[in-house]
Amino acid sequence: MDYRSIHRRSIDDRDAFWAEEARRIHWNTPFERVLDYSRPPFARWFIGGTTNLCHNAIDRWLPTQADRPALIYVSTETDEERTFTFAELHREVQRMAASMTSLGVGRGDRVLLYMPMIPEATFAMLACARIGAIHSVVFGGFASVSLASRIEDAAPTLIVSADGGSRGGKVVPYKPLLDEAIRLSAHKPGKVLMVDRRLAPFEPVAGRDEDYATLRAKHLDAQVPVTWLESNETSYILYTSGTTGRPKGVQRDVGGYAVALAASMKHIFCGNPGETYFCTSDIGWVVGHSYIVYGPLIGGMATILYEGTPLRPDPGILWQLVERYKATVMFSAPTAIRVLKKQDPSWLTKYDLSSLRALFLAGEPLDEPTSKWIADAIGRPIVDNYWQTETGWPILTVAHGIEKTPTRIGSPGMPMYGYDVRLLDERTGAEIGANEKGVVAIVPPLPPGCMQTVWGDDKRFVDTYFKSIPDRLVYSTFDWGIRDDDGYYFILGRTDDVINVAGHRLGTREIEESISSHPAVAECAVVGVADSLKGQVAVAFAVLKDPSIAATQDARLKLEGAVMAVVDKQLGAVARPARVHFVGLLPKTRSGKVLRRSIQAVCEGRDPGDLTTIEDPQALEALKQTMKA
């Protein structure tokens, strides 16, 4: 079937389209109406229908594949490897659900998860879904201050945590950070449920901390029936990555999300029941929610939960797992691929990857050199996909389950069914034609699976997302893009990353793309810096594949000139960065996104702002030093 006409139909005949997609999941009671859009921009999907995410992820598959793998846990940190079948997962989730219930958790209560990538984290998410509690997973890499603000905002009844995690072979204790966060937060949870991995010894807080092993033992035979939820009840809260400032608590529903994920498994990821899905993200991010936990299981697939880095025990580990578990779908991030790019490429050809239909990448712009490099190295199709925590599933990509639309390098693809995407002039709100730059916007109602609102703050939802374009109630992605004549979109960077050099508006992404094409460059970031003459100039920071080639001042200057020459040739002299600095590391969020906002602030001598989500504060410090040199 022709994809474009299906997309058209999903917009023009919206209710009929989604009513059909809704058949992909199990409803306990059918919905009365597909959509209630009486209070724009708030959309309510599948009114009156009752369903449950956990039922769709587990129980529904028991009659046909109880003994097939559901959750495959691999830890290269603790050298553990364990497979849970659907029947075993069903049992573990009920043990967890019964334990939570015994601690007083009920429907609508919040349960905050601060956990490493261990099976219990998945059990806890699914247990919440089962009993109608609202989970809020906070990435395990966050420290006390970030965690405290999320505890305060979500006000959980219960926190589920562990003694510690491990990264690159080093134990990371969680408990002291959690205790400190609870101390900092005005809201105090009634109970803390601790999974003790015996990695990091800790002192339980009497009367508050409960040991999971002890509780689980009391509930070994627990049978916890599914709580049927109205489609629009809340399934979870998840905070955005905080690349651009204070994170927003994205609130998601039950029915719309289940339908959106089931549809995406079929149309976008082409995964079938009985196969294996391998997503290298973390359960603390939206990609982990949708495509480690819920999507694959709702699609009847086994899912790999991987605790470890892409480099240990060696840079072949991801591909070794693909081979061992015959993964048919893999999902990762450009930032992980750029890490591999600095390693010997022979690691990528050591394993049999023939099971793999495609490698999906999302989270950051996929630059052309990285895209080509990984495609050549693994010999499998690469599918870029663009979306946000807010949307829960891809906005732009190619739907190979519908039509084998060719991919175009540098472009994540075209609007997915259900998304009425427009490019708009951010000053006038006017629609922009092909080959012109504008803000990527979505005409509401947002499709099923997207955020319902900002947790506890409807006003912030409307004001943040729907008021930035003059005179129109449209959802802004705050990303800047361009569409070619065939309808392929290209993301040029975030709207606040647009640089205005002597009247020319340039996306930082365009310049970064050009710099990355220099063979010595592994990755780079470009920011606009205030300039009295030109308004703004571009300043670039590049990480070299082999830093030793820029060891001397002479070599650095020569290389800087060579990089500038590449930009001149590809984009013209207006885009040429005023400076190209070579650094060892770029400041990134914990989710692997470059913190251009903070780099820019440092370049302009301002305060770098909210750094709670930064991966390595040293990176910013080193960058300051490089600029002084």
Contacting positions for ligand ATP (CB under 6 A)? 240-244, 247, 362-366, 384-389, 412, 477, 479, 491, 494, 591, 593
CB 337 to ligand ATP: min, Å: 12
CB 385 to ligand ATP: min, Å: 6
353: left (phi over 0), alpha (psi -120 to 50) or beta: alpha
Q: Which residue lies nearer to ligand ATP by CB, 146 or 328? A: 146
Q: Which residue lies nearer to ligand ATP by CB, 382 or 563? A: 382
CB-based contacts of 541-544 (< 8 A; 24+ apart in sequence): 541/580, 541/581, 541/582, 541/583, 541/586, 541/599, 541/623, 541/626, 542/515, 542/580, 542/581, 542/582, 542/583, 543/582, 543/583, 543/584, 543/585, 543/586, 544/520, 544/582
φ/ψ (deg, to 5) at 330: -130, 145
CB 245 to ligand ATP: min, Å: 6
Produce one character per residue of 26-40: b if its CB has 16 or more CB atoms within 10 Å, e if not: ebeeebeebbbeeee
CA neighbor of 302 nearest in space, from 328, 281, 320, 283: 328
208 DSSP assignment: T
CB 163 to ligand ATP: min, Å: 28
Q: Which residue lies nearer to ligand ATP by CB, 412 or 577? A: 412
Q: Which residue lies nearer to ligand ATP by CB, 367 or 560? A: 367
Q: Which residue lies nearer to ligand ATP by CB, 325 or 387? A: 387
Q: Which residue lies nearer to ligand ATP by CB, 253 or 364? A: 364
Measured CA to CA, the distance from residue 17 to residue 10 in angstroms comes to: 5
Q: Which residue lies nearer to ligand ATP by CB, 99 or 281? A: 281
Sign of CA dihedral 367, 373, 376, 382: negative
CB 230 to ligand ATP: min, Å: 27
Measured CA to CA, the distance from residue 159 to residue 570 in angstroms comes to: 52
Sign of CA dihedral 345, 350, 351, 356: positive
| Start-to-end C-alpha separation, the chain | 59
Measured CA to CA, the distance from residue 316 to residue 351 in angstroms comes to: 8
CB 426 to ligand ATP: min, Å: 15
CB 222 to ligand ATP: min, Å: 35
Q: Which residue lies nearer to ligand ATP by CB, 67 or 616? A: 616
Cβ atoms of residues 596 and 556 within 8 Å:
no
CB 589 to ligand ATP: min, Å: 6
